[in-house]
Amino acid sequence: MPSFALKVIRMSLAAVALFSPAAAGRLAFGIFSRTPGRRGKNAKEAAALEKAAPVVARAERVSLSLPLSGGAAVAHRFLPDATVANGKRVLVTHGWGSRVDYLTALVEGLVSAGAEVVALDWPGHGASPGRFLTMPQAVQTVDAAWRHFGPFDAAVGHSFGGASLACAAGGALAGVQPRIPGRLVLIGAPSEMAWLFADFGRFMRLRPKVQAAFEAVVERLAGRSLSEFDAARMMGALDVPVLIIHAEDDKEVAAEHARRYAAANARVHLHWANGLGHRRIVSAPPVIEIVCDFLFDRPDRAVA
């Protein structure tokens, strides 16, 4: 049964739509882009944040400006011990409603393998300011990290973070050059933005004219239509090795998205991490090992 708050939001959107579908579409986009609260939602998340705090505290914190949108984001730079440093620089991005703190297992795995890691808190998440996030802002954040830290040998993204890396590599935002790492890993990532908008529209029961206005906001912000934010198609045009890691039991991003990526290009390798769902997958030790094997060409191991 829908919550009282959801009923109120649906009724408000329907009421605005009676007078102006365009205004209702803009209102829907504002709701869609608003980021969730940053505190742990339960005792388990609070404990995870407490455990991650000493790891995150060791990082160099850098503020990145986003001139196109006027916002800002925070990057956390982790350096490896000099005895194991391999000279690789890896960009790491989290999913919607997450933060760098929840990726510390992955970050520590990459650092232990010898990499310098730059992990981003998206606008409206973690240590970054704001209460809204859009895909254009995410692409701008990747671009800002690239300009500040220099090129990246590899990039690893979970969920929305993976789709954002794909869109940044594919040049999805008009006026921002493609940012293509030497290797790319997408974990539990959606393969197209149109699916997310359609899913939200069904959830909010938007009428066709309101849905069209809702989607049109993207074109005004990005200079490209929503249909062009097809991350799988963008992967098909890349000439770099890509690893897709997904669980067929993922209840938030269907396994079909992983299959779309895998079908896009012969250089895209698909690894099923079944049983790990959508969230546990990014911190699972076997997955972190597979990521490091793929990124650092460890000859004694193979991605299967």
What residue numbers bound the domain in which 292 lies? Answer: 58-188+233-296
d(CA 204, CA 56): 37
Report yes or no on 165 lying in a domain. yes
Report yes or no on 268 lying in a domain. yes
Report yes or no on 210 lying in a domain. no
Q: Which residue from 116, 145, 150, 154 is spatially nearest to 241, judged by alpha carbons?
A: 154
What confidence score (pLDDT) does residue 174 get?
84
pTM of the model: 0.93
Tell me the CATH number at 77.
Answer: 3.40.50.1820
- The larger pLDDT score, comparing residue 40 to residue 155, is at 155
Report yes or no on 150 lying in a domain. yes
Q: Which residue from 166, 36, 187, 37 is spatially nearest to 106, judged by alpha carbons?
A: 187
Report yes or no on 280 lying in a domain. yes
What confidence score (pLDDT) does residue 71 get?
87
Number of domains within the chain: 1
What backbone phi and psi angles, to 5 degrees, belong to 21? -55, -35
42: its two tokens: 């339960």
Give the dihedral sign, CA 188/68/215/226: negative
What confidence score (pLDDT) does residue 132 get?
93
d(CA 105, CA 115): 14
Distance (Å) of CA 248 to CA 44, 110, 152, 168, 190: 24, 25, 30, 26, 13
pLDDT of 138 higher than 90: yes
What confidence score (pLDDT) does residue 1 get?
53
**The residue to which tokens 């300011």 are assigned:** 129
Work out the mean pLDDT of the chain and round it to a whole number: 92
Report yes or no on 169 lying in a domain. yes
What confidence score (pLDDT) does residue 2 get?
66
pLDDT of 123 higher than 80: yes
**208-254 pLDDT, tens digit each:** 999 999 999 988 888 888 888 999 999 889 999 999 999 999 999 99
**How does residue 304 score in pLDDT terms, banded at 50, 70 and 90?**
very low
205: its two tokens: 């029961």
Report yes or no on 85 lying in a domain. yes
What confidence score (pLDDT) does residue 26 get?
95
**The residue to which tokens 């609070």 are assigned:** 46
What confidence score (pLDDT) does residue 299 get?
54
Q: Which residue from 222, 220, 258 is spatially nearest to 242, judged by alpha carbons?
A: 258
d(CA 115, CA 83): 11
What backbone phi and psi angles, to 5 degrees, belong to 8? -65, -45
Q: If you average pLDDT over residues 127-135, what whole number do you get? A: 94
Q: How many CA atoms lie within 13 A of 60 on its CB side?
A: 10
Number of C-beta neighbours around residue 301 at 10 A: 13
**105-119 pLDDT, tens digit each:** 999 999 999 999 999
Report yes or no on 5 lying in a domain. no
**How does residue 175 score in pLDDT terms, banded at 50, 70 and 90?**
confident
